Amino acid sequence: MAKPIVAIVGRPNVGKSTLFNRLIGERRAIVEDEPGTTRDRVYGTTDWGGVEFTIIDTGGLQDDREVEAESSAQIAMATRNQAHVAIGEADVIVLMVDARSGINAGDHEVADLLRRADKPTILVANKADSTSRRDSVFEFYELGLGDPIPISSYHGSGTGDLLDRIVEALPEAEEEEESEGPAIAIVGRPNVGKSRLLNALLGQERSIVSDVPGTTRDSHDTELIWAGQPVTLIDTAGIRRRGRVDRGIEQYSVLRSMRAIDRSDVVLLVIDATEGFTAQDLHIAGYIAEQKKGVVVVVNKWDLIEKGSSTMEEYRAEARRQLDFMPYGPLVFVSAKLGQRVQQVIDTALAVVTERHKRVPTAALNKMLKEAVADHPPPSKPGKWLKFFYATQADVSPPTFIIFMNDPAQIHFSYRRYLENKLRESFGFTGTAIRMSFRGRDEGR
């Protein structure tokens, strides 16, 4: 089920990124050191009171010097773009203003847009970290967006009240009809060829069952039979604009892709071979990895690449470097325009579905664990050696493994990755993320 989206909008330097980092519990808007994710992302998943939702930092990462270097017209244009993106895609909008500097024309400009939108909007006065500033937030009533909530995103005060308001404003989750087969989402930046790929796939000799609107805005779910198996294709096309693609439209593609990814079993990440891997491609790939979905990297427009004897292998090597946090994703080189190798796309996706539902016998899993630890013992502190007791597979889709040991807090992320690599060497799991959990022995009783 697609998670609802909450967008934080407002002028530059009002503290949107600080609030974003606090709500998701990490400094992701600045740098991401956790292995397996991309850097400088502007979205994350959080929950409050058992309600999970996606939160978007729409303000970008502008420091004071960058803002001073821009003209007021450019700042106003960037603000409008961000507000338009939020209005179009978010379920709830948080408008952040600065209690320290007070109300100004930029706040009125964004408020005017939001007031005309049929979206729940929550007004937040940030930097209200003193009694006088909390008392001064009432001037923001003139924006016409209801009661302003005074908070300090830096210190965390007032954020609980804000989260309560957000959860109250979120729409009720809609139950989706169960599909007989796996859901495969087609995602990617604008103009990489998603629509052409979908048309090429449907142009094959396949039986199309239905073409119905999906729950994702501006997407379509197409149910079809592929090699005797029912499949649902989730299309996120229709987000292109003539001329230059600006930042707002790029963010549009990420938001729509996220909604489709949430609903899918396997994601077709479409890359433009002529442009290589861009920051937006990596943003989307990072979200796929974070949500533990299956993935097939579809390198489109391969017919436009001048080829030599090693061109494909060189591209594979570059993909491994760029997608180092997702090395398990298979690549398929296609030309949707010419129909070259497009059948391999769904065939590969269905193979990934099979991998996601694979179960490993407990005896074979523990034999692998014993051999892996013997070949490369984990780094441990003197006098407190790490010991692994046993492992078991707890779930599928994604494959989930629980490993019991004496001190889970001491295991290093590099050793986690080592054990994951050993799992893949022994049992495959091509195209799918793996979830691994390390627990103390007492937690298993």
Q: What is the pLDDT of residues 165-194, one digit of tens each?
A: 999 999 876 555 555 789 999 998 888 888
pLDDT in the model for residue 4: 86
Tens of pLDDT along 71-98?
455 555 555 565 566 677 788 999 888 8
pLDDT in the model for residue 203: 79
The pTM score is 0.70
pLDDT in the model for residue 47: 86
Dihedral sign (CA 38, 42, 48, 52): negative
Tens of pLDDT along 14-62?
888 888 888 887 654 443 334 333 333 466 788 888 888 888 877 533 3
Query: Predicted confidence band at 315 (pLDDT cuts at 50, 70, 90)?
Result: very high
pLDDT in the model for residue 42: 62
Task: Please give the average per-residue pLDDT across 202-219, as a whole number.
Answer: 51
**What does the alpha-carbon distance between residue 145 and residue 105 come to, in Å, rounded to a whole number?**
15
Q: Which pair of tokens denotes residue 269? A: 């990440």
Task: Please give the average per-residue pLDDT across 211-217, as a whole number.
Answer: 45
Q: Which pair of tokens denotes residue 353? A: 């579905």
**What does the alpha-carbon distance between residue 157 and residue 150 come to, in Å, rounded to a whole number?**
8
% of the chain surpassing 90 pLDDT: 38
Average pLDDT, the chain: 80
Q: How many CB atoms lie within 10 A of CB 342?
A: 23
Give residue 228's region: left, alpha or beta (phi > 0; psi -120 to 50).
Answer: left
pLDDT in the model for residue 220: 65
Element containing residue 329 per DSSP (H, E): none
pLDDT for 334 beyond 70:
yes
pLDDT for 146 beyond 50:
yes
**What does the alpha-carbon distance between residue 299 and residue 306 come to, in Å, rounded to a whole number?**
14
Give residue 391's region: left, alpha or beta (phi > 0; psi -120 to 50).
Answer: beta
Q: Supply the DSSP string of 250-307, one letter for each residue.
A: HHHHHHHHHHHHHT-SEEEEEEETTT---HHHHHHHHHHHHTT-EEEEEEE-GGGS--
pLDDT for 355 beyond 70:
yes
CA neighbor of 378 nearest in space, from 409, 355, 343: 409
Q: Which pair of tokens denotes residue 145? A: 């967006």
Tens of pLDDT along 296-310?
999 999 999 998 889
Judged by DSSP in three states, 105 sits in helix
Q: Which pair of tokens denotes residue 245? A: 């693609």
- 11-42 burial, b at 16+ Cβ within 10 Å, e below that, comes to bbebbbbbbbbbbbeeebbeebeeebbbeebb
pLDDT for 63 beyond 50:
no
**What does the alpha-carbon distance between residue 217 and residue 44 come to, in Å, rounded to a whole number?**
19
Task: Please give the average per-residue pLDDT across 249-272, as a whole number.
Answer: 78
pLDDT in the model for residue 85: 66
pLDDT in the model for residue 175: 57
Evaluate whether 29 touches 8 at the Cβ level (below 8 Å).
Answer: no
Sequence length of the chain is 445
Least confident of 39-53, 133-147, 362-376, 422-436: 39-53
| Residues paired with residue 97 on neighbouring β-strands, in sequence order | 125
- 43-71 burial, b at 16+ Cβ within 10 Å, e below that, comes to bbebebeeeebbbbbbbbebeeeeeeeee
pLDDT in the model for residue 30: 40
